[in-house]
Amino acid sequence: MRDAVDDFLDQWAALRSDLDLEAMGAVGRLLRLTRLVDKEVSRYFAEHGMERWEFDVLATLRRSARPLTPKELAAGVMVSSAALTNRIDRLDARGLVTREAVPGDRRSLHITLTDAGRDLVDDTVEGHVRNERRLLADLDAADCEELNRLLRAVLITLEGAR
């Protein structure tokens, strides 16, 4: 079977047979997959009245064992502090999170899920996992494990080992 990336690799190979195109193929596929997966995941969340970023913030808070500072939350969802402030404002306006001053430090805040925020995450996470499994339906468990191993290796290289 061939995909659209094979077509542009063939074109490059015809023009520049001296190039090793394996990495270009892998990165091209990753970029195409990112767009397609983002579209499908975003569609799922839209069906549940939220945007993907909202789930990301709410799920990060849900997974933590404690309230998070804005800095910790920004690191967890990989956005800038400015972007996070806007997101927290919007989630707070919907009654999904609260901001609370840290006792003894008026300059610091803790962000906490409200009951409504926790319920929203809990109500959507199982369907989200099923949707992601649907996206990888052609891969069996061993294939998924291998895909995760390979993607983890690339992420560790690009992000640096933690």
pLDDT tens series, the chain, 162 aa? 999 999 999 999 999 999 999 999 999 999 999 999 999 999 999 999 999 999 999 999 999 989 999 989 988 898 888 889 899 999 999 999 999 988 877 778 999 999 999 999 999 999 999 999 999 999 999 999 999 999 999 999 998 866
pLDDT of residue 78: 83
pLDDT of residue 91: 97
**Cα–Cα distances in angstroms (integers) from residue 101 to residues 68, 71, 75, 104, 118, in the given order:** 11, 14, 20, 8, 20
User: What does the pLDDT look like over 15-47, one tens digit per residue?
Assistant: 999 999 999 999 999 999 999 999 999 999 999
Work out the mean pLDDT of the chain and round it to a whole number.
93
Report DSSP state, residue 50: -
pLDDT of residue 82: 84
**Distance between CA atoms of residues 139 and 81, nearest Å:** 37
pLDDT of residue 162: 60
pLDDT of residue 145: 97
**Any bridge partners for residue 99, and if so which?**
111
